[in-house]
Structure 1
Amino acid sequence: MYLHGTSKINSRGHLEIGGCDVTDLAKEFGTPLYIVDEVLVRRRAREFMDAFRSTGLRHQVAYASKAFCVMAMCRIAEEEGMSLDVVSDGELYTALQAGFPAERIHFHGNNKTPDEILMALDANIGCFVVDNFIELQLLNALAGEKGKRVNVLLRITPGVEAHTHEYISTGQQDSKFGFDLGNGTAFRAVETALAQPNLKLLGVHSHIGSQIFEVEGFRMAVEKVAAFAIEVRDRLSETFAVINLGGGFGIRYVEGDTPLPVGQYVHAIADAIQSSCAAANYPLPEIWIEPGRSIVGDAGTTLYTVGTSKDIPGVRKYIAVDGGMTDNPRPALYESKYDAILANRADDPLVETVSVAGKACESGDMLIWDLNLPKVESGDLLAVFCTGAYNYAMASNYNRIRRPAVVFVKDGKADLVVARESHRDIVGNDIIPERLKKQAVTQ
């Protein structure tokens, strides 16, 4: 059994996270429940910050808020000295409501709307990561209307295919994101950006994918981006002040996952950029990266209550929990794997193999296949590990199931940071037209 961060099995045989017995958390907050180990979140953030400081390079480490965006998480990111990536007006609004410094916010996205751009301009965010020619023209026009000149990075696709699932691989040529490096589009984008009076081109951004366990893809991306920067300098006499190499650093979800120490990723990137720049006498740019999953992923645990079960002799035993694809769609989306234990009987011997089904009305609502557990009983608590990234962020109200609460745990104290949705929340935006309203029956 592999336990992350402050997680341990206490003297009662219960899972404990951040000094809090999860059985007590279930009684206080109900299930399903997202539990976030604050100590581990901060530890992961500091690993990146410390690793970059050790390289001596100018840098920004921006938390990719799409992984898990709530106001409390934005506060932690600021306290740890990080910048912040957002990809929508909702994430931007969350960050601003949390008091995150606007000048440290970077706005990504392949289809920013005019309203989103205007909102970001009014907030005076630090940088736009521009994805296409339409956005270049639109951003320049809107910035001009506001009397502003704004910082931009150009997102480029370097043609590096990371070893990851096709749905979360983004650096290859055939991608919805960015200006293509191989066919000359990226160079035309630089020329276009430089010609816009209301845009200040800082440099370029690339991202090769997610859940990456090796450094070679990052090295290749650095070499291609650096070669492009050198070409721009030689042909246009323009040097990039910033090179953003994205995120994608993997975490350990299950046995067999082999993420590298954070420092190994960072130093591979630093070594590659330093050698590429030195060889071409190119001034060292500031390096930005965007970890998201690797900050919050293994710090999250989802706690469920077991309900029904179905035993098919000679085939499979299913157990059903009170959540599922509505709070964790990743197994259904791209066959993601998770590990779990019975949180209230963690010391009991493993005696049966079960598959964990969710409660949504979908055959594909399966969280874990073939999990070894003690004899499972209705009412047991199942803790699924490493659910801190892209679980709450991607949760839905399918079947009108309410989204769970979120608690941060630290030093034996649990703080509610997102309240459980109520039935009133579920219908809060519904409107019944007058013609459909139930009429009083007259006698």
Structure 2
Amino acid sequence: MEMDPKILLKVVEMYGTPIYIYDEDIIRKNYRVFLSAFKSLYKKTKVLYAYKANTNLAICRILQQEGAGADVVSIGELEAALKVGVKPRQIIFTNNSKTDEDLKNALESNVIINIDSKDELSMVNRIAGKSGKKARISFRVNPSVDPKTHPRIATGLKESKFGLHIENNIAFEGYRMAKELDNLEVVGIHTHIGSQITDMTAFKDATEKVMEFTKKLKNELDIELEFVDLGGGLGIS
């Protein structure tokens, strides 16, 4: 990115250093390029910006104006998303170690809650019942694929602790349990196989496994999902 030195000097005079400077035009351009690439294959594609990347409200507001939803992992991020105008139905709370307070706030805000384990499923159902709410939920599933990235940021491997594994019917059992609980509405499925991934084969493999699993949910449990969330993790080269 190149900027006029005179503008940079003026900004430094106003705000001092160190300082981060973002180019709104580039942010909007990159977002549109990213979205159009997916929409060329699936018209109903929706981007949910991961607020953990940068919760600068100016950036979040720009992305909201472009139509992005929000992937949040804390109450602070949830509040930021709501503050810039993201609609609750376009916000997914994906923290994998949620507290009772987290869930109460998420339920009160009517956002989608992403379930990471069977224990958490029971926890959400209990708190939703006490709150007089019906929680809209999705499950994080593990497709057991190798994202070919650093082991410390690979979260879709068979041995990973994250999510319910599709293998051995663990994820299937989670959906079956959720369907029988009165305070839950199952609306989606989520997977996140890692970060800084540059080999698209891993995403292809994960997507195929997840889509095959959604067919099983429809055929055997009559669960028809509203969305499939393929997570983030695309690498920067």
Same fold by TM-score, threshold 0.5 exceeded?
A: yes
SS in 1 for 2:228: strand
Name the amino acid aligned to 2:59.
M
Q: How do 1:403-414 residues align onto structure 2 when only pairs under 5 Å count? A: none
SS in 2 for 1:63: strand
Aligned partners of 1:60, 1:135: CA distance in 2, in Å?
Answer: 26
Name the amino acid aligned to 1:115.
E
Distance 1:79 1:239, change over 3 A: same
Aligned partners of 1:237, 1:182: CA distance in 2, in Å?
Answer: 20
Number of equivalent positions: 237
Identity of aligned residues (%): 38
1:59 maps to what in 2? 45
Instruction: Tell me the alpha carbon deviations over residues 298-327 of structure 1, each in whole angstroms, 9 at most, x when there is no partner.
Output: xxxxxxxxxxxxxxxxxxxxxxxxxxxxxx
Unaligned runs of 5+ in 1: 1-6, 9-15, 253-443
Q: How do 1:385-396 residues align onto structure 2 when only pairs under 5 Å count? A: none
2:36 maps to what in 1? 50
How far the C-alpha of 1:101 sits from its partner, in A, is 2.2
SS in 1 for 2:21: strand
Q: How do 1:194-273 residues align onto structure 2 when only pairs under 5 Å count? A: 194-252=179-237
1:129 maps to what in 2? 114
2:141 maps to what in 1? 156
Aligned partners of 2:6, 2:89: CA distance in 1, in Å?
Answer: 36
2:170 maps to what in 1? 185
Aligned partners of 2:150, 2:78: CA distance in 1, in Å?
Answer: 28
Distance 1:20 1:144, change over 3 A: farther
Aligned partners of 1:239, 1:93: CA distance in 2, in Å?
Answer: 30
How far the C-alpha of 1:21 sits from its partner, in A, is 4.1
How far the C-alpha of 1:54 sits from its partner, in A, is 2.7
Name the amino acid aligned to 2:195.
S
Name the amino acid aligned to 2:94.
H
Distance 1:203 1:97, change over 3 A: closer
2:125 to 117, 140, 154: 140
1:94 to 50, 73, 80: 80
Aligned partners of 1:20, 1:43: CA distance in 2, in Å?
Answer: 24
Aligned partners of 2:152, 2:12: CA distance in 1, in Å?
Answer: 34
1:387 maps to what in 2? none
1:108 maps to what in 2? 94
Name the amino acid aligned to 1:143.
A
Aligned partners of 1:59, 1:199: CA distance in 2, in Å?
Answer: 25
SS in 2 for 1:156: strand
Aligned partners of 1:139, 1:233: CA distance in 2, in Å?
Answer: 23
SS in 1 for 2:162: coil
1:267 maps to what in 2? none
How far the C-alpha of 1:124 sits from its partner, in A, is 1.7
How far the C-alpha of 1:130 sits from its partner, in A, is 0.8
Aligned partners of 1:79, 1:69: CA distance in 2, in Å?
Answer: 15
1:71 to 50, 57, 74: 57
TM-score by length of 2: 0.91
Name the amino acid aligned to 2:110.
N
How far the C-alpha of 1:178 sits from its partner, in A, is 0.6
CA RMSD of aligned residues (A): 1.9
Name the amino acid aligned to 1:37.
D
Is the Cα contact below 8 Å between 1:63 and 1:83 reproduced in 2? yes
Aligned partners of 2:23, 2:235: CA distance in 1, in Å?
Answer: 18
Instruction: Tell me the alpha carbon deviations over residues 103-134 of structure 1, each in whole angstroms, 9 at most, x when there is no partner.
Output: 22110011111111111111122x11111112
Unaligned runs of 5+ in 2: none
1:29 maps to what in 2? 15
SS in 2 for 1:183: helix
* Between structures 1 and 2, the one with greater strand share: 1
TM-score by length of 1: 0.51
Larger RCO, structures 1/2 (Cα 8 Å, 6+ apart): 1
- Runs of 4+, deviation exceeding 6 Å: none
Is the Cα contact below 8 Å between 1:212 and 1:250 reproduced in 2? yes
Is the Cα contact below 8 Å between 2:143 and 2:206 reproduced in 1? yes
Look at both structures and tell me which one has the larger radius of gyration over its CA atoms. Answer: 1
Aligned partners of 2:170, 2:218: CA distance in 1, in Å?
Answer: 16
* Between structures 1 and 2, the one with greater helix share: 2
Is the Cα contact below 8 Å between 2:135 and 2:184 reproduced in 1? yes
